[in-house]
Structure 1
Amino acid sequence: MIEIDGAQGEGGGQILRSTLSLSLCLGTPIKIKNIRAGRKKPGLLRQHLTCLRAAKTISNAVVTGEQLGASEVTFVPGTVRPGDYHFPIGSAGSTSLVLQTVLLPLLFADEVSEVSFEGGTHNKKAPSFDFIAEAYLPLLARMGAQVEVALDDYGFYPAGGGTWRARIQPLSQLSALQLTERGELLDYEAVATSAHIPAHVAQRELAQVRKKCDWPAECLHQRQVPSQGPGNLLSLRLRAQQITEVFEAMAKQGVSAERVADGAIRQMQRYIHAGVPVGEHLADQLILPMALGAGGSFVTLKPSLHLRTNIDVIHQLTGAQIDLQEEGLDQWRVLVHSHKEKQAA
């Protein structure tokens, strides 16, 4: 049994999710201690508990520590079973993070899986459904994965209630990903999604994008959606020849619409000025499938603590080597060697 310290690096829930996903894919028993020790409320919250239960369900795993607030978990996986699954969080916790826990294990299963999720679909500090659909899954598709998703209901914090579905086709091997150039910018748009809040909030966000970025009106889209509770998310999307990147900012009480827009704009401008293809958040999510697949490389921004922590966890569980090479101002190359290369050596 491999022991992982949840207090290492950024000390958040990503350590739990990556460890569970790798345990399922490799059939390796694991123990995670000090779970989310770096957070204001340490231990398992509802969305993390759902990740644990989802991992248990798809593999009939033997688990200890399956309770809210637990700071230590042991997980002994069985064989991953494809099938029809439903994972309700019971709160507005991020459903996309639950997907990331079970996606790769179900992808490497031998039959199609249909998975539905219930909870938050557009959350602060988590990839939204839009990010998963627009930025992440297209790159997995380039690696050979076939994953179809459909959003049924929007869910914002704190009401939640969002629902969506994923259909995961089986795959024996992910191919290598080489993503070192962005290519020509083909298209861009800003989408302000809102539920149960005054229309002027989204209008002001889009007006700020037009003012700061000089984008034409036809690239600015206001989307009023039904939801159990109020919420607002601004999404800036850049579509280039080699990649689509998404930059998001969630509205918060007491923060003006203009400041919300500025948050997304700053992320996007940093990315544009650096000249890299892969943004900060997408980099976190690509290294796991690349390490379990045939490896590859990509160029991204200066590695975040999230990325460095995920690299450490992957190395601890698989032995895979992931190298970081600085190439310029806010420009780094990430070289991912498949864990199978380590096994072959």
Structure 2
Amino acid sequence: MSWLVIDGAQGEGGGQVLRTAMTLSVLTQTPIEVINIRANRNKPGLLRQHLTSVNAAREICNGTLEGGVLGSSRIKFSPGKVKSGDYHFVIGTAGSTVLVCQTILPLLALADSPSRVTFEGGTHNGMSPSLCFFNESYLPVLKAMGLNCRVQISSLGFYPAGGGKWQLTVEPTMSLKPVELLTSVEAVGQIQKQGHLSALMSALPDVIGQKEVTEARKLLGWDEATADVLRFKTNGPGNSFQVKIKGALHTSLFEQVGQFGVSAERVAKRCVGRVKKFLKAEVAVEQHLADQLLVPMALAGGGQFTTTQPSLHMTTNIDVIKQFLSIDINVVEVDSGFWQVKVG
């Protein structure tokens, strides 16, 4: 058997290399050997969320796996045929359930019948896309590409306690279709009337969320924007401050997770800084979503969007995709801070 060797140390050298490789290995039926897994991280090798992603992909396609243990820096994986159905994946820590989901969603999106997947673990940990981001920003774009999904939330899971639980129902499509995201939100209407400020709170005083909202209003000048402080019951204390900007197709969501010893005002300021950069660039897709749209667009065979300067995550993802698929992905700076990405 011939194995495609993927170097996990390439580019940003994190878990994304592994996740994209697993997804495309199954969809292209390419056996892979991934070496130097997460080599550029403080704790290299497979952590629980990465191992859960690997095992989830293996289970869904009935593949064979070598080296699938905690801490492993190398795996060999041979994919089988994707099977739709009911699945349940538990991380056991506050590791990101969303990243596990994004590994397997393209597999179930192109399956022959609907699937339902239950996830348990972290939903808001600050180091990965949150469940709010997944549901409000990522899934609407996939819907425009022909994929219908439904999210049902039982409980949220903040870092470090975790304990989140949610379910995704996937209605597959025969093929994904290209989509274009080129128009900035400013072309749709007045920004602050499209904007919403939200503080998610668990086992913490409401005043923290109220301070975050007040500070963000002041820094953005959004006197007319709607806002709320939402309380949840979770396994441990947690806070996620979010700024949302409604666009024609999806919501651009910016998030900052509260940390012990960091003031509410500082949390809001960090989040607002990213919002201002996005609005100044007048692009359609913020930096994190840009990275995550590459695999779906590559599978669709085309698509394009405007975004801010590509992150190392994004350029790394492009390099991994090209190791599996013969597709052009062109990234061009059209103007200062304004980039256009064209797939296909």
TM-score for the superposition, normalised by structure 2:
0.96
Give the Å deviation of 1:27: 1.2
CA distance in 1, matches of 2:226, 2:209: 14
1:164 pairs with 2:166? yes
Which amino acid in structure 2 is aligned with residue 321 of structure 1? D
Which amino acid in structure 1 is aligned with residue 221 of structure 2? D
Which amino acid in structure 2 is aligned with residue 147 of structure 1? C
- Pick the aligned partner of 1:104 from 93, 103, 106: 106
CA distance in 1, matches of 2:250, 2:93: 33
Q: Which residue of 2 aligns with 1:275?
A: 282
Contact between 1:6 and 1:33, CA under 8 Å: does it hold in 2?
A: yes
Corresponding residue SS for 1:292? helix
What stretches of structure 1 of length at least 5 have no aligned partner?
A: 338-345
- Pick the aligned partner of 2:341 from 317, 334, 340: 334
Identity of aligned residues (%): 45
CA distance in 2, matches of 1:225, 1:137: 23
Corresponding residue SS for 2:194? strand
Output aligned runs, 1:95-134, within 5 Å: 95-134=97-136
Which amino acid in structure 2 is aligned with residue 312 of structure 1? D
Give the Å deviation of 1:318: 1.2
Which amino acid in structure 1 is aligned with residue 188 of structure 2? E
Corresponding residue SS for 1:249? strand
Give the Å deviation of 1:294: 2.8
- Could you tell which deviates more after superposition, 54-63 or 241-250? 241-250
- Pick the aligned partner of 1:45 from 22, 43, 47: 47
- Pick the aligned partner of 2:230 from 223, 228, 236: 223
CA distance in 2, matches of 1:242, 1:115: 25
CA distance in 2, matches of 1:138, 1:132: 9
Give the Å deviation of 1:218: 6.0
Q: Which residue of 2 aligns with 1:305?
A: 312
CA distance in 1, matches of 2:331, 2:120: 37
Which amino acid in structure 1 is aligned with residue 220 of structure 2? C
Q: Which residue of 2 aligns with 1:261?
A: 268
CA distance in 1, matches of 2:210, 2:129: 23
Contact between 1:243 and 1:277, CA under 8 Å: does it hold in 2?
A: no
1:12 pairs with 2:19? no
Give the Å deviation of 1:198: 1.8
Contact between 2:195 and 2:225, CA under 8 Å: does it hold in 1?
A: no
Q: Which residue of 2 aligns with 1:25?
A: 27
Q: Which residue of 2 aligns with 1:187?
A: 194
Q: Which residue of 1 aligns with 2:89?
A: 87
Output aligned runs, 1:63-82, within 5 Å: 63-82=65-84
Corresponding residue SS for 1:228? coil
- Pick the aligned partner of 1:143 from 138, 142, 145: 145
Which amino acid in structure 2 is aligned with residue 87 of structure 1? F
Deviations 1:10-57 (A, max 9, x none): 001111111111111111111110000011110000000100110111
Which amino acid in structure 1 is aligned with residue 134 of structure 2? I
CA distance in 2, matches of 1:170, 1:218: 37
Contact between 2:136 and 2:250, CA under 8 Å: does it hold in 1?
A: no
Which amino acid in structure 1 is aligned with residue 248 of structure 2? Q
- Structure 1 runs (4+) greater than 3 angstroms displaced: none
Q: Which residue of 2 aligns with 1:202?
A: 209
CA distance in 2, matches of 1:198, 1:215: 24
CA distance in 2, matches of 1:336, 1:217: 38
Give the Å deviation of 1:199: 1.7
Contact between 2:291 and 2:314, CA under 8 Å: does it hold in 1?
A: yes
